[in-house]
Amino acid sequence: MAESNKSSKASLAQDLMPRYGLASYIDRNSEVNQISFQIRQMMGHLHVAHLVKMVAVDIKNDHVGMVNVTPMTHQRLASEEFLPHGTQHELPYFRIQGGSNAVIIDPKIGDIGVAIYCDRDITKVKITRDNAGSDSYRQHAMEDGLYLGGFLNGKPEQFVEFKEDGIHLRSPQKVFIDEPNTEISGNVKINGEVGIQKSLKANGDVTAGSISLKSHIHSKGEKGAPTGKPIG
């Protein structure tokens, strides 16, 4: 009997909760509830954000590119079945950029991110990358999405990590620095080999082991013969 009462209370509580998509008897028993249900139905047509998976990416050389994504949460039907969303095409993706300065991390197929949806048609703005009027009267539509990357993804192989003991820069292959001049203030410690393709200039002394480049001495050789190796 106790189990039956508990089940009835749970069922009643579920019926009393606002429902989206299906009208309960509570939604139909007064004009206020009917209007509330209609408002919820209309709100359900507003697209705000979706977790999405990357299925294609178009990387541009002269500006930020576009991606195609698929929403990961399926639509729930009245029959309690699930219907996957279709692919959303040509969403501009986010890049950290100020003027001509940027951190370039282009998205990859299989990435998980979030698509957010503008409240107006952004077709002309995407094409011209300038102020423009809307091509239609649509609002909060999935056609007007923008992609932000980096949710629920796996462990990266190369990264910049900011920790309490300093900044960690990790790459499984190479780190390229392409600029005419590089200046480092402070001490530099290198644990591996150093290869230099051109000349090396030092304003101060250079020490190999305990031997100074500027002030080392040699053992004496015979008259007219080369001196011996540096000895200190």
Are residues 65 and 151 located together in one domain of the fold?
Answer: yes
Residues 66-110: pLDDT tens digits? 999 999 999 888 788 899 999 999 999 999 999 999 999 999 999
Are residues 54 and 123 located together in one domain of the fold?
Answer: yes
Are residues 103 and 144 located together in one domain of the fold?
Answer: yes
The CATH number that applies at residue 140 is: 2.40.50.230
Domain range for 75: 49-159
Are residues 38 and 90 located together in one domain of the fold?
Answer: no
Are residues 38 and 88 located together in one domain of the fold?
Answer: no
Are residues 108 and 146 located together in one domain of the fold?
Answer: yes
Are residues 33 and 55 located together in one domain of the fold?
Answer: no
Give the C-alpha separation, 229 to 216, whole Å: 10
Asked if residue 181 belongs to a domain, the reply is no
Residues 157-172: pLDDT tens digits? 999 999 999 999 999 9
The three-state (H, E, C) secondary structure of 59-91, written as one string: CCCCCCCEEEEEECCCEECCCCCEECCCCEEEE
Q: Which two three-digit tokens encode residue 130? A: 């300038």
pLDDT the model gives residue 34: 84
Are residues 38 and 64 located together in one domain of the fold?
Answer: no
Give the C-alpha separation, 154 to 150, whole Å: 9
Asked if residue 135 belongs to a domain, the reply is yes
Indicate the DSSP class of residue 140: S
Asked if residue 154 belongs to a domain, the reply is yes
Q: How far is CA 151 from the centre of its chain?
A: 7
Asked if residue 164 belongs to a domain, the reply is no
CA gyration radius, the chain: 33
Are residues 30 and 95 located together in one domain of the fold?
Answer: no
Are residues 67 and 145 located together in one domain of the fold?
Answer: yes
Contact 147, 49 (CB under 8 A): no
Find tokens 């095409």 and name the residue. 89
Residues 24-74: pLDDT tens digits? 778 778 888 888 878 887 777 788 899 999 999 999 888 899 999 999 999
Final residue before a domain boundary, out of 137, 159, 181: 159
Are residues 34 and 118 located together in one domain of the fold?
Answer: no
Tell me if residue 167 falls in helix, strand or coil.
strand
Query: How many separate domains does the chain show?
Result: 2
- This prediction has a pTM of 0.72
Cβ burial, residue 19 (10 Å; 0-12/13-18/19+): middle
Are residues 137 and 75 located together in one domain of the fold?
Answer: yes
Final residue before a domain boundary, out of 159, 189, 216: 159
Give the C-alpha separation, 108 to 69, whole Å: 11
Among 3-7, 55-59, 187-191, whose mean pLDDT is lowest? Answer: 3-7
Final residue before a domain boundary, out of 112, 135, 159: 159
Residues pairing with 97 in the sheet: 102
